Structure 1
């Protein structure tokens, strides 16, 4: 059968790749979804990228233990074209702890991360299921003030079934069960802790996409409804209690908070490194410009 022009171009392209020593099977096999931390050691991202569709990278364990490979892994994944999210392992024991861990996590995250994950999989001493739900809600509420990227809940199936998280507050769910497919609704399934991937020495967590549309949306993200400009009146009104910060990236809180239905004077709008918009108040404080929390007069 005579080959057309397109066929000849495809064959020529494949031949060129082979001549350069690049395996064409690598492109077809880039379907693995992995999550990694410092425990995977030095990852050869050039090799790992050839078989990896998406990676999820640890940033911290609680608020005090920072993953030593968080930046190396984020930069390696980004350099080799692997889209990635980042996660924090929860150790909060109060609403205040949850809010603090959220701010610490965000301040330590990489700007190239496509989405953020709360890894909430064990009770701290004395924390009930009801309290765990409350703290997870506090975490996701705080993160909504910091970023417009998607927020995902990760947990083991037994723990999630026990706590009964309010998953509607999150943009997706990632459930671990090493013996069977989760019965709980899950977009991503962590099915093994003993996977093997090129470029990584030793075991690595492996995951299977259950809802490709949902997981693809994590990578693409979504636009939270923000005000992009200051109102002509120069005033806004809070719909909920909001916190004031010294900087546009919300890394340093001022100690000031503004209650519900409070009228505030604004001088402008600035965009954070993570893509979220902030109102600049006349006293120099920054607050969220998220329409869920404030309204223009």
Structure 2
């Protein structure tokens, strides 16, 4: 009887302990509500503390292009990427650009991609400054930058600016995968998925002020980091039947290998094109790919394709 009672007490204690642990985990997840963008100006971030509050973070890589008077690489770009990755904070990276020609925009995109951390879930064009005396429409340079980035990566590419800049230069960001707009007085009156609403935010582990952002379209913003470089089964087709048809919902590349590299690209696929499928094959890092009847591979990401 005593032994039986002891076992009952131990079982009850274990249940209480498990309940506390579960509640603590839920509370910790619920506390991760903040989305910040950071650069060297935030100094040395305690990522262990910041991870308790940050749902996502966007990290600066560089400011301008070589040759610009104010060109600089962000001195904290690598340590911030490492910190966010270590503590499981999904992160994107942004590029503060200053264009003066199509060639300059193309050069800027190539350098940004080369410097960006490949663990980033998405990339951002920070387009908020126009050089004095520059001719040509800003939209032309934005388009050239985006086109170059599309040739380098299949990850999502986001447009960032502030409300007035978008109006003054009549920017159309509909070709990007998302928009992130700053306006500190009120919600932006231009289309945005993510709203940078203050430069005076606070986050544990970050000394001083930091930009904070509010989600306007949760489905869109969540897709920036859950659909980029992930194997979550809800985001990917994990089974198909040979002979089924797959249709492109947006532009992407076809590859000769399930392990995507630029050298393995076969063709750029336009939205609306259909294929016959053969099977689902995983890349070396576990990402599902659709193998086509011709033996080549395309993404199995539901954002990009639909299987009929």
Q: What TM-score, normalized by structure 1, do the two folds share? A: 0.73
Report the Cα offset of residue 168 of structure 1: 1.5
Change (3 A) 1:269 1:24: closer
Is the 1:84–1:114 Cα contact (8 Å) retained in structure 2? Answer: yes
* Structure 1 outlier segments of 4+, above 6 Å: 7-10
Give distance in 2, aligned partners of 1:183 and 1:11.
50
Shift of 1:52: 0.4
Structure 1 pair 186–78 and aligned structure 2 pair: CA distance change class (3 A)? same
Equivalent residue number for residue 148 of structure 2:
142
Q: Choose the corresponding residue for 1:114, options 116, 121, 142.
A: 121
The counterpart of 1:227, out of the listed 254, 271, 279, is 254
In the alignment, what sits opposite 2:173? 167
For the residue of structure 2 that corresponds to 1:226, the secondary structure is strand
Identify the residue that residue 194 of structure 2 maps to in structure 1.
188
Say whether the 8 Å CA contact 2:254–2:266 is kept in structure 1.
no
Deviation at 1:224, TM superposition (A): 5.3
Aligned to 2:280: none
Q: Specify the alignment match of 2:18 in structure 1.
A: 13
Gaps of 5+ in 2: 1-11, 67-71, 229-249, 271-293, 295-308
CA distance in 1, matches of 2:97, 2:19: 47
Matched, 1:155 2:161: yes
Matches within 5 A, 1:146-295: 146-221=152-227, 225-229=252-256, 271-272=260-261, 277-279=262-264, 289-292=267-270
SS of alignment partner, residue 112 of structure 1: coil
- Of 89, 100, 103, the residue aligned with 1:93 is 100
Alpha-carbon distance in 1 for matches of 2:193, 2:13: 40
Structure 1 match to 2:29: 27
My pick for the range that moved more, 213-222 or 144-153, is 213-222
Report the Cα distance in structure 2 between the residues aligned to 1:288 and 1:108, rounded to whole angstroms: 25
Distance 1:11 1:189, change over 3 A: farther
Tell me, in whole angstroms, the C-alpha distance in 1 between the residues paired with 2:203 and 2:195.
Answer: 17
Distance in 1 (CA, whole Å) between partners of 2:15 and 2:200 is 38
Task: For residue 172 of structure 1, report the CA deviation from its aligned partner.
Answer: 0.6
Work out the CA distance in 2 between the residues paired with 1:16 and 1:270: 39
Q: Residues of 1 paired with 2:251 and 2:31: CA distance? A: 34
- CA deviations 1:102-161 (Å, max 9, x no partner) are 000000001110000000012111135x52110000000000000000110000000011
TM-score w.r.t. the length of structure 2 is 0.70
Q: Matched residue of 1:290: which SS?
A: strand
